[in-house]
Each structure stands twice: as structure tokens, then as C-alpha cells.
Structure 1
Amino acid sequence: MKKAIRTILLIVCICVFCYSAYNLINIYLNYKKIDDDYGELANTYTSVKDEKKEEQNYLQIDWATLKERNNDVKAWIQIPDTNVNYPVLQGETNDTYIHSDIDHQKLSAGSIFVDCRNEKPFEDFNTVIYGHNMKNGSMFNNIKSYTDQSFADEHPYVYIYLPDGTVSQYKVVVGHIISEESVLYNTYIENTSSYLQEMVKTSSIHVDFDQSQVQSLITLSTCTSAGSESGKRNVVHAILQRKGIDPTTEKME
């Protein structure tokens, strides 16, 4: 009887081990696919002019070929010295690219995408951009770090590359955790002063800027870490600092 019980326990342990190993392999393969797919995009459509280790230069993007692959690409987003380096798409709904890649193929990490309510992305006062918070550090995982002052100080700029060949530089001014129902997700802003006051009210970081001079901004949103309060999002707001930058002639700050 004892021998039979031991045999059953051994079989159960083996089954649990095999199931766990299967899940771990699937997780590894999933993250590998994410890294491979987005690595392929970056290698195929972007390059860096006169790349040197001691300085950061703007990306050179093959917009014609990238737009041929998918005309839903509205921009390319880059935050230097982080993993944020991706094409930005916009679908008919916010579900279009939440779990789909640039080729509309199923991918757990989905794509970085602009809110479908933005009629004129990067021209509207507030352009909202979403990305998943992946455990392997990809997509918008780095966004959650902007609740830390030192990280914000060391990574102050977000660069948006546009299909017209220019680059816009945005300065991060707010990092916080907010409700997914927050008014800060609004894309149509009538009272910009009220919006900006609401924006800075719960910021975890402090960055000086003149609210009266804000022309437009981007809102970067991702899920909070696993186990955090549901219905909350890690959000970064960055204000437009410069636009129309020629990446072929200028050096990145």
C-alpha cells in the first residue's frame, strides 16, 4: 500500500514538473519571438548614421518601405538608453493592435499604438500611446520606471520620428500611476490649463516647466506590474519641446 502511494506521488510530481517545464518553455519561446520580431523591424527599417559608443545619434528610418508594409504606422518612438524603440501604429479600434503585430499576426505583446480617438496623431493637443508592460523588459516596460526621480532625470526625452522625415523631441514632465478611467486619457482637450493642472497634481516626479507654453504633449500608458491594484496604469506625460528636427544633419541631445 505504501509503495503504491509513493508511486502515485512520484507520478504526480513528474506530471507537475513536466507541466511547469512546458509552461516555462512556452514563456521563453513567446518572449524570444517578441525580441526576434521587433529586432527584425529595427534592423530592417532603421539605422544609425556615424554610430559611436560615446554619443547618441538619431535613427535613420526607411519610411517608404515601412509604410508599404503597413500604412497604419504613424510614427516611430525612441527613448534613448531604454528598450523603447518601436514603430507606432493606429488601428480602427484600440483592440486592433493590442495583441497583433505589424502584420496583423497574433502576438501577446501586441504593438505600440496610438489611441483610435486621436484624429490627428502628434498634432492633437494630447496624443495617447499604449504599450504592454512585458516582463522581459520589452515594449513599454520602462515606462513604469518614470515614477522614480533619478530615472526620469537620466532619461528626460522621448523622440517621435514622423513619416515626413522629421523628428519631434518631447520632454518628460510627469510620471505617475492613475486610473484607467482618468480624464488624462482624453484626446480632445478644450481647457488645456485645467488638463495640465490635473496632470501634475499626482506626479511622482518633479520637473519644472511653464504650463502656459505647452503646445502639445504625448501620454504614454502601460499596465502596472502584476499584483498591483487593478484598474490602474503607469503613465508618463511628455511635452513637445522641439519639432521639425532633421535627423540627417543634427545630433541628438
Structure 2
Amino acid sequence: MAGKYAKKRKRPWIAAVLPWKGDKAGEAIRKIVFLVALITFLVTGGILLWEMVIQPAMVDNKANYVQQIYHADDNKNNTATSEDSEYDENGNLKKFVELQKINPDIKGWIRMTDTVIDYPILQSSEDNPEYYLYLDYEKNHSKYGSLFFDARNSINLEDPSSKSLILYGHSMNDGRMFGSLLNYGSLDYYKEHPTFEMDTVKYNGDWKIFSVFKTNTLSSQGEPFNYLRTSFSSDSDFLNFVYQMEIRSLFDTGVDVSADDQIVLLSTCSYEMDGFRTVIAARKVREGEDTTVDTSKAVWNPTVLYPDGWYSAKGGTKPQHLATFEEALAQGKINWLAEE
């Protein structure tokens, strides 16, 4: 008789959410579906939190740290007396000393006014040229990677491989790293940002943008334009290279270029078509030259040369351009060559 009146055991609270002994089949299935949904929500939320909040904050904190070091030394150099030299005994800029203690692969710095671009530039060896593609300046893995020079480049001005510096970086969807470069699809944006600062451990530099172009990397879209050149066989070879960038430029900038100029190409992924790149080409401001640009002269280029695949996908007619700089010069088609 005692068993008949025994008190029924109370189910624990957790039985309300977990499948439990005595659950009917429908109830057990409901709980399993709920648990799967909850786990999916938590995992997805955690990934989003990492991708959209934690990781970007870590990138910003690391960037702020080296920015404080670099710009503090920059300010010291600006206030140095005439007896002080901004270079050390090895011919390197002193403002890079502390940065190179963090990582000797830090070979430069780039800053664009009114953008987030204010970053160190790394450079690895030719044995592993994309070493910093997904590593930060502390060599920790990061989807943001680092901005880095082409491994073939020399930062010594006397070296032929410094004639055309190439700088790579990711165009992140959140605008970090080289994300701002995609804004150069707008003429108004170019007019507001026609120059930038880029220093190497060997020299300071201001740079004037003379071409903004889109190019392909996939042969299925037409023969890719080889803009990844660092040295040239002659002045004519160099000027023909500039000519090829000028006819591809979205704008006629009004910035002149000479055979004696040093140039830099900022290259980043673009999304108009698979494998596309946006490239910003700039020349170093010459000694004694005004660092500003008269952007009132800048206009849209009415005969932009795009990759062949562009016309197949987006329509339009491919413009006809003379094949070489020499031909265009002979026919008076060059308006960007600096006067000697």
C-alpha cells in the first residue's frame, strides 16, 4: 500500500530543455530541434562577434600602437635642430629604428589623409614573397594581413628595382587596410585625395597620383596587363609602361611624368569581375616641387582601355589606342610627359 501513495519524483528543471526519460516522441524531437537551433545561434553569433567586433578591434589596437611609435618619432624629426640628422650612420631614417626593433621586415610607411590608411609596410624575401599576405607585423595570423612591398623591390634609390615600387594589400569590406582604394572609382574622391605620403627606411616621400586603373588577372578575360614590373631596360621602356597605365586610367589627372621619375603602384583586389585589381599609380614629388595637385584639370578619361572581358560582360566598344608611347608621342597624343 505504501507504494500506491508514494510521492512522485519531481523532474529536474533541465528536463524542460533536454530530452529526458519519459518524454513522448514529439516532445523529444521538439527539444532536439530547439537545441540544434540554439547551438547554431550561439556558434554563428560567436563567429560574427569575432569577425565583426573582436578581430577588427585587435587590428585597430595593433595599428594604433605602431602609429604612436612612428608618428612620435616623426614629430621629433620635425623639431630637430639643423645639427641633428634624421638619418643614422647606416643611412636609414631614425624614425624607423623603434619599428624595426618590433620587426626588421618593416621597410616603410604609408599614410593617406582622411582615410584609415596609416600603416607600416612590410617586405619579405623572394623565397616567400607573399609571406605577409595573412600575417600582421608581429607575424601573427590575420585575415587582414599587412601592406607589403613586392619582394623584388629594392628601397635603395640607386638600385634599378626601385624604379617602380609595388605595394600590395587587402581591400577589406570594412574599409581597413587598402579598402579605401576602391573609392578611387569616383572622380570626386580622386580630387579630394590626389596625393599621399609614403616613406621607406631610406627616404621620405610625397607622391602624386597620375593613374587609376582596373585590370584583370585571369587570361579568360583577355591577356592581363603586366603592371608588376620593377625595373626597365631604357627610358623608352619606362615611358611606354607609363603610357600603358595612362590609356587604362579612369581619369586624365593632369599630373605629368618624366623618364627620371620614381613611381609606386598600390595594388588591391577589386570586385567588378573575378580576379580584378584596382591599381593606383603615383610618382614621387620631385625635389623643390610643390606637393599639391591642381585637381581642376582632372577629368574622366573618355577612352579608358579596360580588359577584353569587360566589354563582353558589361558592353561598350573597346577604344583603339596606338600601341606604344613612341608612336603616340610622334602623333602628338601625349599630354602627360613632363617638360625637360
Contact 1:140 1:222 in 2 (8 A): yes
Matches within 5 A, 1:17-28: 17-27=41-51, 28=53
Mapped partners of 2:232, 2:275: distance in 1: 23
Contact 2:197 2:207 in 1 (8 A): yes
Partner of 1:241: 285
Partner of 2:230: 187
TM-fit CA distance, 1:222: 1.1
Kindly report structure 1 stretches of 4+ aligned residues shifted beyond 6 Å.
none
Partner of 2:201: 163
Question: Residues 119 and 232 from structure 1, CA distance in 2 versus in 1: closer, same or farther, beyond 3 angstroms?
Answer: same
SS at match of 2:286: strand
Contact 1:170 1:238 in 2 (8 A): yes
Contact 2:212 2:280 in 1 (8 A): yes
TM-fit CA distance, 1:62: 2.9
**Count of residue pairs brought into register by the alignment:** 236
Residue identity matched to 1:85: D
Find the partner of 1:115 among 150, 175, 188. Answer: 150
Residue identity matched to 1:187: T
Question: Residues 252 and 210 from structure 1, CA distance in 2 versus in 1: closer, same or farther, beyond 3 angstroms?
Answer: closer
1:40 aligned to 2:83? no
Task: Using structure 2 for the length normalisation, give the TM-score.
Answer: 0.62
TM-fit CA distance, 1:7: 4.0
Find the partner of 2:140 among 105, 113, 119. Answer: 105
TM-fit CA distance, 1:214: 5.7
SS at match of 1:102: coil
1:76 aligned to 2:109? yes
Where in structure 2 are there 5+ consecutive unaligned residues? 1-24, 77-92, 218-223, 293-340
1:210 aligned to 2:243? no
Mapped partners of 1:114, 1:236: distance in 2: 14
TM-fit CA distance, 1:111: 1.2
Q: What are the Cα deviations for residues 97-147 of structure 1, in whole angstroms up to 9, with x where unaligned?
A: 111122222222111110011134666221000111122221111111112
Partner of 1:13: 37
Residue identity matched to 1:233: R
Question: Residues 67 and 142 from structure 1, CA distance in 2 versus in 1: closer, same or farther, beyond 3 angstroms?
Answer: same
SS at match of 1:195: helix
SS at match of 1:185: coil
Larger Rg: 2
Structure ranking higher on relative contact order (CA contacts 8 Å, 6+ apart): 1
Task: Using structure 1 for the length normalisation, give the TM-score.
Answer: 0.82
TM-fit CA distance, 1:224: 1.8
Partner of 1:142: 180
Mapped partners of 1:232, 1:135: distance in 2: 15
Contact 2:213 2:245 in 1 (8 A): no
Q: What are the Cα deviations for residues 57-85 of structure 1, in whole angstroms up to 9, with x where unaligned?
A: xxx97322112222222211111111111
Contact 1:168 1:242 in 2 (8 A): no
Q: What are the Cα deviations for residues 133-183 of structure 1, in whole angstroms up to 9, with x where unaligned?
A: 12222111111111211111101112112324x421111121122123531
Contact 1:121 1:127 in 2 (8 A): no
Partner of 1:154: 192
Mapped partners of 1:224, 1:69: distance in 2: 31
TM-fit CA distance, 1:8: 4.3
Question: Residues 22 and 197 from structure 1, CA distance in 2 versus in 1: closer, same or farther, beyond 3 angstroms?
Answer: same
Find the partner of 1:174 among 211, 225, 229. Answer: 211
Partner of 1:248: none
Partner of 2:164: 126
What is the alpha-carbon root mean square deviation over aligned residues? 2.7
SS at match of 1:184: coil
Q: Could you tell me the percent identity over the aligned residues?
A: 24
Contact 2:206 2:291 in 1 (8 A): no
